Amino acid sequence: MKMKKSTLLFLAVLFSSIGLKAQYDAMFTQYMFNEMYINPAYAGSKEAMAININHRQQWVSFPGRPVTSSFTLHGPLKNNKMGLGVSFLNEQIGKLSRNLLYVNYAYRIKTGDKGHLAFGLMGGIHTQTNKLAELKSNDAGDIQIAQNTLTIKSPNFGAGIYYSTKTFYAGFSIPRMVDDSYRFQSLGQIETSTKINVNRFHYYLTVGNIFELGENVKVKPQAMIKMVQNAPVQYDLNVNFLLKNKFWLGASYRSSNDVSAILGYQVNNQLLVSYSYDYSFSKIQKYSQGSHEITLSYLFSYKKRNVATPRYF
């Protein structure tokens, strides 16, 4: 089978990170504007109904690059004592297609005059298909790509905790606890497996705070740490500046040797439009034009209670 050098590099990077398993988490640079996908306890934390739409084009111009789109909707219930939400994610990586649909629930406890501590659960379903038959091979009768994989459908669930005030937040979560994997046999058969595997749990720790540097300047440093057994700890470090409550200007560093620039415009107290660009210092940057991501966030105002200020988390 003949492939371009860049395609071979992509496959090496992809399978070194995910192996032959379906459970891996999509990457978002602008996770700080919406943590619903990684922590169910985040549901209802904005104290009003919120919508977030995100689209990411990773490693632009690279053959088979990841393209990820997500949608989340969540809000409070029972006088903010509970949170309920739904999230959907679609991702295309080469000939791999997968969809994730979740329902998130959070029970929120008021702590003092300023904070809330929430405990969350999430449950949903994964579907995944590998369209191997669409690959072109110069080796006649290559049984490994002679047919598409069966569409793998498996349930999944996760849990998390989330503490927040108007200026600070911290969360810990395990968003996906079921490992849905597949393996190619020597004669071309595909063996699937769906089970709880503690060794493959992905643990997320997030923390952030906002400080006022003056009447028109706020700064929001934050971090996300991701841990999984038998793998190096991964982390994102980020700082965003909010100027005149209108313009977001930020930068991030990812331990995978990526840096990002973030630009956002707070159209009003309810609508945020944000864009980020990632540059990688790894070898893959030679074959791509970086990664692009755009986020739209909208916070509804209720008839009895208008949203007075933009939400920072």
For residue 304, the model assigns a pLDDT of 52
**Do strands 247-254 and 234-243 pair parallel, antiparallel, or not at all (unpaired)?**
antiparallel
For residue 269, the model assigns a pLDDT of 84
Cβ atoms of 34 and 54 closer than 8 Å: yes
For residue 17, the model assigns a pLDDT of 38
- Tell me the C-alpha to C-alpha distance, in Å, between residue 135 and each of 8, 18, 95, 138, 256: 13, 20, 8, 10, 29
Contacts of 65 (CB under 8 A, 6+ apart): 10, 57, 58, 59, 93, 288
DSSP sequence for 278-303 = EEE-SGGGGGS--EEEEEEEEEPPPS
Cβ atoms of 68 and 292 closer than 8 Å: no
For residue 255, the model assigns a pLDDT of 92
For residue 150, the model assigns a pLDDT of 67
Residues of the chain with pLDDT under 50: 1-23, 308
State the SS3 of 189-251: CEEEEEEECHHHCCEEEEEEECEEEECCEEEEEEEEEEECCCCCCEEEEEEEEEECCCEEEEE
Torsion angle (degrees, nearest 10) of CA 91, 260, 104, 302 = -120
Which one, of 43, 180, 40, 48, lies nearest residue 123 by Cα? Answer: 40
145-191 per-position pLDDT tens digit? 555 666 778 899 999 999 999 899 999 999 999 887 766 666 656 66
Cβ atoms of 33 and 46 closer than 8 Å: no
For residue 240, the model assigns a pLDDT of 95
Cβ atoms of 172 and 163 closer than 8 Å: no
Find residue 259's DSSP bridge partners: 253, 279
For residue 119, the model assigns a pLDDT of 97
For residue 11, the model assigns a pLDDT of 42
Torsion angle (degrees, nearest 10) of CA 240, 243, 248, 252 = -20
8-22 per-position pLDDT tens digit? 444 444 443 333 444
For residue 20, the model assigns a pLDDT of 42
For residue 50, the model assigns a pLDDT of 94
The Cα–Cα gap between 124 and 98 comes to 13
Which one, of 277, 273, 228, 274, lies nearest residue 254 by Cα? Answer: 277
For residue 145, the model assigns a pLDDT of 58
- Tell me the C-alpha to C-alpha distance, in Å, between residue 125 and each of 69, 86, 103, 132, 286: 17, 12, 10, 23, 36
Q: What is the CATH number of domain 5-299?
A: 2.40.160.40
The Cα–Cα gap between 120 and 175 comes to 10
Average pLDDT over the chain, rounded to an integer:
83
Please state the domain extents for the chain: 5-299
For residue 199, the model assigns a pLDDT of 86
238-250 per-position pLDDT tens digit? 999 999 989 999 9
For residue 173, the model assigns a pLDDT of 96
What is the distance, to the nearest Å, from the Cα of residue 245 to the centroid of all Cα atoms in its chain? 26
The Cα–Cα gap between 26 and 269 comes to 29
**Letter for the amino acid at 236?**
D
**Letter for the amino acid at 241?**
F
For residue 165, the model assigns a pLDDT of 92
